[in-house]
């Protein structure tokens, strides 16, 4: 996916961070994170590239807070699309948060949060209530 959107992935031993320097988009992934954490972190920074048009280093704290909130939501949406989560329920019947985390290779807490988002959002309901 990174190649499709011309995002270069690099690895270091610090927290994951994205940068867009003169049109060259790079996500510096944290080597210390688990694979499932790295997947979610990638989508978080990918969402920043898609939605943000400012540099957080120079932004007002309110813009940074909003940007982080949107990137957190975007990471959940992108890593576990509603349609695919719904297919897990339809094809496998009763599934657990562990099943979702395993199917999408994301942390357990993220799977739980995404399923709850979908369940309580009338526009994203899985039809399983």
Of the chain, the percentage scoring pLDDT greater than 70 comes to 93
The pLDDT, as a whole number, for residue 91 is: 84
For residue 58, the 8-state DSSP code is G
Residue 37 belongs to domain spanning = 7-78
Please tell me the predicted confidence (pLDDT) of residue 80.
95
Q: Could you tell me the sign of the dihedral formed by the alpha carbons of 86, 90, 95, 99, in that order?
A: negative
Question: Are 28 and 73 in a shared domain?
Answer: yes
Q: Do residues 48 and 60 both lie within one domain?
A: yes
Evaluate whether 8 touches 2 at the Cβ level (below 8 Å). Answer: yes
Which pTM does this prediction carry? Answer: 0.84
Report the interhelical angle of 82-92 vs 97-104 (nearest 10°).
Answer: 120
pLDDT digits (tens, 9 = 90+) for 60-115: 999 999 999 999 999 999 999 988 988 888 888 778 899 999 999 999 999 999 98
What are the backbone dihedrals phi and psi of residue 19, each rounded to the nearest 5 degrees, phi first?
A: -140, 145
14 and 68 share a domain? yes
Question: How many structural domains compose the chain?
Answer: 2
């Amino acid at each position: 996916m990174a190649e499709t959107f011309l995002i270069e992935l690099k690895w270091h031993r610090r927290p994951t961070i994205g940068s867009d320097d003169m049109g060259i988009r790079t996500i510096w992934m944290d080597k210390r994170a688990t694979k499932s954490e790295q997947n979610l972190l990638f989508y978080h920074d990918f969402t920043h590239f898609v939605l943000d048009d400012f540099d957080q280093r120079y932004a007002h704290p309110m813009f940074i807070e909003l940007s982080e909130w949107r990137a957190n939501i975007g990471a959940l949406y992108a890593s576990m699309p509603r349609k695919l989560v719904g297919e897990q329920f339809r094809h496998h019947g009763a599934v657990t948060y562990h099943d979702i985390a395993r199917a999408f290779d994301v942390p357990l807490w993220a799977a739980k949060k995404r399923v709850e988002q979908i369940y309580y959002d009338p526009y994203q309901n899985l039809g399983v209530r």
